[in-house]
Amino acid sequence: MNTFKKIGLTALAGSLAVSSAVAGEMSVAGSASLGVKNTTKTSAGKSWTMGNQLTFSGSGELDNGMNVSLSFVLDQDDDTTLSETAREENSPFDSHSLTISSDSMGTLVFSGEGGSSAQSAIDTTAAGDAWDNGSGFTAIRASEAGNNSMMYTLPSIMDDLTIKASYSPGSAGGPGATAWHVGYAGVEGLSLDYAVGQTESIGSEQEHTTMKASYAYSSFTLSYSNTESVHDDASVSTDEEISSWNIAYTVSDDLSISYGTETIETESAAIDEEAEKINVSYTTGGVTLSASQFEFSGKANSNANTASQGDVERWALSATFAF
């Protein structure tokens, strides 16, 4: 823990201990869920998952009119970017952020860990990152974010227009990143988003661009997204692009059906990675039941029919309980 964090936590602890009149109150939110999934051509067989995340949050208004809120997440073994040993050492602590806002100054979010850049915050595909269920598909790169990053949302300039900017200084020797995002929802049923992020390190620069559009009409919602990553150092990595479509149909207040596709194009790869997903969701009495079917082709940019390449199928079932 650095000196700044020590000072901040010490001051907070002192203020809570000295006077209960200014003590902050934290609430806890979470959900219970249980799921099972099965992927073809693997030796692991079926695997089970259970929701284990809790979010502590609190907020209040200062005498000067500013609103301040704090969020802290407990999520065991969540950060898969770390080694198993590092995850065990950091568990169960996860994302935490401090938000300061007012109508005149806008909103500033400082993420000590687990933050998003203005670009990576919207780079989820229209089909909901179906590729991430393919067990070994190309991971989509985005503008650097995470630890000690800042996100600023400008105060309202015009109705339904949102402008954001972010900055991540990077760690010692690691990349720094800047990003910006413009969103517009001024037409009924239509939302448009465009974001660009740049990640820079010594001798290398990456630019990531995301475009998204969604239109809802009656019981149908049609969505499209495209994210492109361009790198100026071909010896380090290659350019890639992922485009996605999704159509969702709300049958009733309780039942919805969606179908989506994704195509990942990698520079110099003759075969694209493709994913299809169909999902059915039903809610009754505080329980949401979901069933998904995934089909993948071109895994690892190959037509080989093996466990690590080619075509893969997966089904998944889940139940989420609200209480």
CA angle 229, 194, 155 (to 5 degrees): 130
Q: Does 120 reside within a domain?
A: yes
Reply yes or no on whether the pLDDT at 9 is more than 50: no
- Domain enclosing residue 222, as ranges: 32-50+115-321
Query: Which pLDDT belongs to residue 20?
Result: 37
Q: Does 68 reside within a domain?
A: no
Query: Which pLDDT belongs to residue 11?
Result: 37
CATH number at residue 145: 2.40.160.10
| Higher per-residue confidence, 98 vs 322 | 98
Tally Cβ neighbours within 10 Å of residue 264.
Answer: 24
Rounded to whole angstroms, what are the CA distances from 289 to 99, 108, 247, 256, 280?
A: 34, 36, 19, 11, 8
Three-class DSSP category at 45: coil
- List the one residue out of 164, 166, 191, 190 whose CA is nearest residue 178: 166
User: Distance between CA atoms of 282 and 319, rounded to whole angstroms?
Assistant: 10
Count the domains in the chain.
1
Q: Does 152 reside within a domain?
A: yes
Residue indicated by tokens 């010896």: 235
Query: Which pLDDT belongs to residue 103?
Result: 87
Rounded to whole angstroms, what are the CA distances from 314 to 243, 294, 304?
A: 21, 5, 18
- The chain-wide mean pLDDT, for the chain, equals 81
Q: Does 72 reside within a domain?
A: no
Interval 55-100: pLDDT, tens:
889 999 888 889 999 998 887 655 555 555 555 555 667 788 999 9
Interval 281-310: pLDDT, tens:
999 988 999 999 999 888 777 776 665 666
Q: Does 99 reside within a domain?
A: no
Query: Tokens at residue 154, please?
Result: 């400008």
Reply yes or no on whether the pLDDT at 17 is more than 50: no
Q: With contact defined as beta carbons under 8 Å apart, do 76 and 91 qualify?
A: yes
Interval 40-58: pLDDT, tens:
755 556 788 888 788 889 9
The least confident of 62-71, 108-117, 201-210 is 201-210
Interval 167-189: pLDDT, tens:
988 655 566 789 999 999 999 99
Reply yes or no on whether the pLDDT at 215 is more than 90: yes
Q: Does 180 reside within a domain?
A: yes
Q: Does 13 reside within a domain?
A: no
Q: Does 153 reside within a domain?
A: yes
